[in-house]
Structure 1
Amino acid sequence: MIGPRARLAILVVALLAGFAAFWGFDVVTKEDVRGWVDAFGPFAPVAYVPISALLGLLLVPGPVLAGVSGLLFGTAVGTIVTLSASVLSAVCALLVARHVGREGAVDLGGERLARAERLLERHGFGAVVLQRLLPAVPDAPMNYAFGVLGVAVWQIALGTAIGAAPRAFSYTAIGASLDDPSSPAAIAGVVVLVLVSFVGAEIARRIYVAR
């Protein structure tokens, strides 16, 4: 029987392998994704949601997936698709981490992890929202971390729906405007991205100072 620490190690290795497969060996390329989605015709936006969520589980960066969504479906529909996929991927990653890696993390983390769990039990929703707003903090690895730390499903689902919405619009709009970087949608995407990054960083700074 595989012990909890071994399951945690297997999860980490599997995630790194998935990430390397996409970026290092081109096992799955953007063109592949486009081909899969185009095959569904008018149902392509619906089909892209689980495809994007699965790639997110493999640590494919959210901005890339959002950009592809914008390229395929435009800003309006693409933003809805991107946000839906983000929520689905976050919930799935949390559940995987909870059932596969949580026991091993508890064994290794000790009292420090227990304190983090107690804090997130009260403030998990706010923590998810803040993390989604923070610049340069990738969502996919954090989804697994939230699962290990005991964040509730409703907290990560609602927190992602709210906190990830601005960036979902930004990256989708930028992806939809690759052929016209000076379009209003592209400019709006960049402006929102800058504002969200500033707001997230400022909130984090104030929380740190208030400690």
Structure 2
Amino acid sequence: MTEHLPAPSRRRAAARLGVVVLVLAVLFYLVAVRRVIDIEEVRELIRAAGPLAPLVFVPVSALLAAVFVPGTLLAAMSGLLFGPLLGTVVTLCSAVGTAAIAGLLGRRAGRSSARGLIGAERSDRIDAQIARGGLWAVVGQRFVPGISDAMASYVFGAFGVPLWQMVAGSFIGSAPRAFVYTALGASIGEFSAPLAYTAIGVWCVTAGLGAYAAHRGYRMWRDRPVPDPVAEPPVSS
């Protein structure tokens, strides 16, 4: 039996969720579109850390990506500063940190509002689906090109994806792109180098797999049969 929340409760939940979405949209516009954060200054500050630069880069990059600084720029910066091998490790650690930060913030800011808006019964069904496939949903999203990982992590958090699934899924799914963008950053000025060609090839394969997985997942969801309603037991007289 579907739970129907009072209209005022739904309006309050929708208003709270709307505020969260508005804040994220403004943040995305300022950082990703208007570029209010100077990446060159960030790079020079990290470079000034000397031998500790990789350790400084991880939390700084994780926070910047969580506020929608493009991950491709941060990964390219990592490759330029640390080279393809260490840079890939640093980029991947940063991507995992971003997933944890955005997932926790999304859960704290939007979880109760999302549940209040869609109802407890539907939320419980979503929770059950997440328990079965949340990890691979995160992995699949990381493979699909053109989707902001930070924005997706906020959404995953709002829908209750556990932290361990966010971390593990981001680690698995972000590894190919971490190598690709870091290697391209390390190859700046030498795009004819074998490393650049390898990175481009990995990107093409990963994007193809991601597009196929997204299409297949959508078809499976669309074609999934609707379960028959459970008949209520007869009332004994």
TM-score normalised by the chain length of structure 2:
0.81
Equivalent residue in structure 2 for 1:197, among 199, 207, 214: 207
Task: Determine the C-alpha separation between the residues in 2 that align with 1:56 and 1:6.
Answer: 26
Report the counterpart of residue 39 of structure 1 in structure 2: 48
Task: Determine the C-alpha separation between the residues in 1 that align with 2:122 and 2:158.
Answer: 13
- CA drift of 1:183 comes to 1.0
Question: 2:201 corresponds to which letter in structure 1?
Answer: V
Question: 2:87 corresponds to which letter in structure 1?
Answer: G
Task: Determine the C-alpha separation between the residues in 2 that align with 1:50 and 1:7.
Answer: 29
> Which structure features the higher share of helix residues?
1
Question: 1:117 corresponds to which letter in structure 2?
Answer: D
Q: Percent identity?
A: 43
- CA drift of 1:25 comes to 4.0
Equivalent residue in structure 2 for 1:153, among 160, 163, 171: 163
Report the counterpart of residue 167 of structure 1 in structure 2: 177
Report the counterpart of residue 119 of structure 1 in structure 2: 129
SS at match of 2:160: coil
- The answer to whether the 8 Å contact 1:4/1:100 transfers is no
What's the RMSD between the two structures over aligned residues? 1.9
**Per-residue CA shift, 1:27-47, capped at 9, x if unaligned?**
211112112212211111110
Question: 1:101 corresponds to which letter in structure 2?
Answer: G
Question: 1:163 corresponds to which letter in structure 2?
Answer: G
1:181 aligns with 2:223: no
> Would you say how many aligned residue pairs link Structure 1 and Structure 2?
209
Q: Which sits farther off after the overlay, 101-110 or 174-183?
A: 101-110
**Tell me, which stretches of 5 or more residues in structure 2 are unaligned?**
1-11, 224-237
TM-score normalised by the chain length of structure 1:
0.90
Task: Determine the C-alpha separation between the residues in 1 that align with 2:105 and 2:13.
Answer: 13
Task: Determine the C-alpha separation between the residues in 2 that align with 1:24 and 1:193.
Answer: 24
Question: 1:87 corresponds to which letter in structure 2?
Answer: V
* 191 and 21 in structure 1: CA distance in 2 versus 1, 3 angstrom threshold: same
**Per-residue CA shift, 1:86-145, capped at 9, x if unaligned?**
001101111111111111122223355543332112111111111111222221111001
SS at match of 1:104: helix
- CA drift of 1:60 comes to 1.8
